[in-house]
Every structure is written in C-alpha cells, then in structure tokens.
A = this chain, B = another copy of it.
Amino acid sequence: MERVIDVRNGRNLTMLSDFYELTMGNGYFENGVDETIAYFDMYFRKIPDEGGFAVMAGVDQLIEYLENLTFTKEDIEFLRSKNTFSEGFLSYLENFKFECDVWAVPEGTPVFPNEPLVTVRGPIIQAQFVETMVLLTVNHQTLIATKANRIVRAAAGRDVLEFGSRRAQGYDGAIYGTRAAIVGGATSSSNTLAEIMFNVPAVGTMAHSWVQLFDSEYEAFRKWAEIYPDKCSLLVDTYNVLKSGIPNAIKVFNEYVLPTGNRPKSIRIDSGDITYLTKQSRRMLDEAGFEDVKIIVSNSLDEYIIRDVLAQGAPIDVFGVGERLITARSEPVFGGVYKLVAVERDGKITPKIKVSENQEKITTPHFKKIYRVFSNKSGLAVADLLCEHDEVIDESQPLTIFDPTYTWKRRTFKEYTLRELQERIFEKGVLVYKSPTVLEIRAYSKKEIENLWPEALRLEYPHRYYVDLSQKLWDTRQNLLIEQSQMYAEDKY
C-alpha cells in the first residue's frame, strides 16, 4: 500500500529519487564539498515527433515538490538501514532546508533544444538531489503539453477533449497529463478530478454499457433524454450508426427533447470509418432539422488522423482524444537531462563541461540566461540567444548571432527586442513566484505560439528555430572543449 504524507496539502515525494542522488550526496558531504555551490541546467536535445517546438509545462508541480521537500524520521531510519550513509550526512538530511535558487521558463512557453528550461543553483548536495524530480516533473508535462498542442493545431479551431485517463501511465499520468493537455490547448477533459484540481471543466455523457443495459437502443436513448433533456448527447455506435444509432437519436430528439423546449446537443461516434459515418450522419441530422447538433468523434485519434479526416471534409465539431494524447504514443519520452554547468567557490564561478563519445551529449557550460529575440517589424520571435549570466546586450546596437556548429552562418538584427525567458522561482529556498492558473497558462501559451513564425508550426518538417550562443559563451565552450580534447590527444596511459 502506498505511503502518503500530507505536507502542506501536497504529497511528500522526497524519496521519489534515484538512489545515486543520495550516494553522491553522502560523497559530497564526506568530502567536505557539500557547501560548494553548483549550477545545474535542465534542458532537452530533441523535439518529440520532429516537431518545431515543445511547450514548457510542469513548473507548478515542481514548486509543490520543492516546497514539500522533507526527510521524515522514517526516511532517515530507512536510509540508515542501507549501511551506506554516514551519521553526519543523515543528520544533514534530517535538518534539510531547501536553500537553492531556481529559475524556470514559464509554463506554456514554446521552447527549443539546448536551452535551460530550469536552472538550479545551490549547495551541491541539494542541487544534485532534486535532479530526479525536476526531470520527472518537467519531462512528463512538457511531453504531453507538446503532443496536445500538435493535436490542437491539427484540429484547426475545433474543440479537442482529453479523454485518456483509462489508458494513462498511472494515476499521475492521468492527473497531470490532463493538466498538461489543457496547457497545450485542449478545451476540457473527461477527468473529474482535473476539474476539482485545476478548474478545467469535466465533460462526459454515456458509454456503450448504457445502451446495452436497456432492451433496445431506442429505449436507452429515450431514458437518457428524459433525464438530461437540456444536455442531450447520445452515443450512436453501439449497434449500427446509420441504420440504428442516428435514426433512433433523431426519433428521441423529436419525441423527448424538443417538447421540453430544449435543443439536443450532440451525437458521438466511437468506431468505424469516421469520414463516411460523419458525412452521412451530418446529412441525416440536417435533413431532420438538427443542423445545430454537434458531431463528436473519438477512437484512437491523433494529429495525423485528425488532419486526414478534416482534409476529406469530415464534418466534425469536436474531437475526443484519448490514449494517443495522454501517453504521447508516437513518441512517449521527453528526453530532458539535468547537467552540471558550473561550480562556484568563494564567489568565483567556474564553467564545467561534459564531453561525450556522442556529439549531441556534449553540454553547454556556464551559468546562463536565455533571451528570446523578437523582430520589431513582425513582432515574431526570430531566435533564442544563450548568454553568460552577466552579459549585457545593448538593444540599440545591431545584434549578430551565429550557428554554434556552422559558425559562418550568421544573421544580424537591427530592429529587435529581447525578452529574458527564465523567471526566478525560488530565491535561496524561498518561493518568489506565483503560478498562473492552468487556464491562464493556456491563454498565454496560445499567444506565445502565435508569435512564432508559421513555418515552425508545421506538424512535419517544420523550419528549425535558431538557438544560438553569444560570442562570449561560444568562446567559453570552445576553450573547454579544446582543453578536454588535448587531455587525450597524447595517449598518456
């Protein structure tokens, strides 16, 4: 049975941590480097589904986790039983007080590979320890928000309902997956708890079992209409959509909804050929005078199927999207990583790099900030620029940026505006940020995505958005790379 500790209304997920965070913590402590200040960046390397951008999400849950970070007596007892940790370290954990600075890109912001979505600065034991949960939280919600936004874009203005709880990967997969789906633009959800937690309207009508329970589909529809005359929505594919479902729905709409002075709301189709069935259903409904009755479809939908059936002219008003949204089925992993980028001793910041046999695993060192560059003419975002933390850019001067790999590729902006992307979330362990509501985040996200070039919004083969390094940061990285590389140029072993 699950152990739950209710701390300040939240769950204490302190021990949901990779064990190596603790063996390293003990190591830092025993080496006396525990008060060394470390800088970690959380960033990702690749946009899921080869898309044009990801949608940042999960900051509010990250805050909740960090606010509830406490080792209980039972945790300490458990750790002691592992015969791995010193008493000094256990005592440190027992008195643990979160003291880090945290910066994050606000939820809903379109984000790109290799820029720090979250930066944590603090005593290395602490900044290291939170790695697992920073990644778990932001990876999951960013994955789902990104996928939801693809589906919402494919739906081209039609409502997208999140219907996936039953196929989610665990309870939080459903709960925070719903939240992230809303961040990404979904209209509402079937998840009742999501309305309680996030104030996102929960919706739902009937399953096939309702229809099966009664002796006939007609009777099942009639019974429904009698109870819900003002919100009558019928599932029409239990037996046969065109020969039974739609005719029975029309009959019941006429006999039991109209006489109450209401209009029926919708019909839902959950199987069969969507384009064919919706076209025929629309025609039948229209001929019966129900032009205003909406057609909802569900059944393993995703952005590609939605795009296809809309291209065929399927008259669909609302898409109910389940498993392929809530699990981001086409690419169910958001590969965010959390890497040490600098160390501070006596106020001096030393940038750190991780080289790798895999080129794309080399890190961008140093304590950084991200600027989003907007063209004054179009108002659109044209590039992101990573700088060292203390760089100052004079916006009255032209700004030249260049590709960090193909450095001869350059662009110069004359009329531009910079916006710093990260916001301060914690200051020495104290929360200094107030999360917007989920619906506010959705509205912000919509606006921010509209400020991207349309070329970045394509579902397939979008134009690559530029994330460049300042000259100063590029030099720092280059020097560290050369230094590391020279260590092995001469084969000294």
Contact = CB atoms under 8 A, between A and B. Distances in A.
Contacts of A208: 339-340, 354
A349 interface: no
B339 A323 contact: no
A19 to B, nearest CB: 3
A166 B139 contact: yes
A407 B166 CA distance: 34
Contact of A4 (B10, B28, B132, B277): B10
Given A173-B173, A247-B493, 9 more contacts: A2-B175, A17-B165, A20-B205, A33-B213, A132-B165, A166-B338, A244-B487, A271-B358, A329-B333
A351 B356 CA distance: 62
A27 B223 contact: yes
A231 B15 contact: no
B3 A197 contact: yes
Contacts of A61: 2
A84 interface: yes
B172 A171 contact: yes
Contacts of A9: 1-4
Most chain-B CB neighbours within 10 Å: which of A74, A139, A336? Answer: A139
A202 B10 contact: no
Contact of A171 (B131, B136, B193): B136
B190 A124 contact: no
A131 B239 CA distance: 21
Interface string A122-134: 0010001001100
A204 B19 contact: yes
Contacts of A425: none
A70 interface: no
Contacts of A243: 488, 491, 493
Contact of A20 (B11, B18, B173, B204): B204
B23 A204 contact: yes
A23 B205 contact: yes
Contact of A333 (B20, B247, B323, B333): B323
Given A227-B27, A228-B23, A168 B169 contact: yes
A195 B82 CA distance: 11
Interface string A202-228: 111111111011000000000110011
A376 interface: no
Contacts of A28: 213
A6 interface: yes
Given A135-B167, A212-B354, A271-B358, A196 B15 contact: yes
A176 interface: yes
Q: How many copies does the complex hold?
A: 2
A24 interface: yes
22 contacts: A2-B10, A2-B61, A4-B4, A13-B193, A15-B196, A18-B191, A19-B190, A19-B192, A20-B206, A27-B228, A30-B227, A78-B195, A167-B333, A167-B335, A168-B169, A169-B327, A170-B172, A208-B340, A238-B354, A239-B355, A240-B357, A243-B491
A202 B484 CA distance: 34
Interface of A: 1-4, 6, 9-11, 13, 15-24, 26-28, 30-31, 33, 36, 38, 40, 60-61, 64, 74-75, 78, 82, 84, 124, 128, 131-132, 135-136, 139-140, 143-144, 163, 165-177, 190-193, 195-197, 202-210, 212-213, 223-224, 227-228, 231, 237-241, 243-244, 247, 271-273, 277, 323-324, 327-329, 332-336, 338-340, 343, 352-358, 361, 484, 487-488, 491, 493
A175 to B, nearest CB: 7
Nearest to A242: B493
Given A1-B10, A358-B271, A192 B15 contact: yes
Contact of A204 (B22, B124, B202): B22
Question: Which of A172, A192, A208 has most chain B Cβ within 10 Å?
Answer: A192
A197 B128 CA distance: 23
A43 to B, nearest CB: 13
Contacts of A27: 206, 210, 223-224, 227-228
Contacts of A207: 20-21, 24, 128, 131
B171 A13 contact: yes
Contact of A26 (B23, B31, B227): B227
Q: Which 6 A-B pairs have the closest CB atoms?
A: A20-B204, A170-B172, A19-B204, A272-B357, A135-B166, A169-B169
Contacts of A334: 167
A239 to B, nearest CB: 5
B124 A136 contact: no
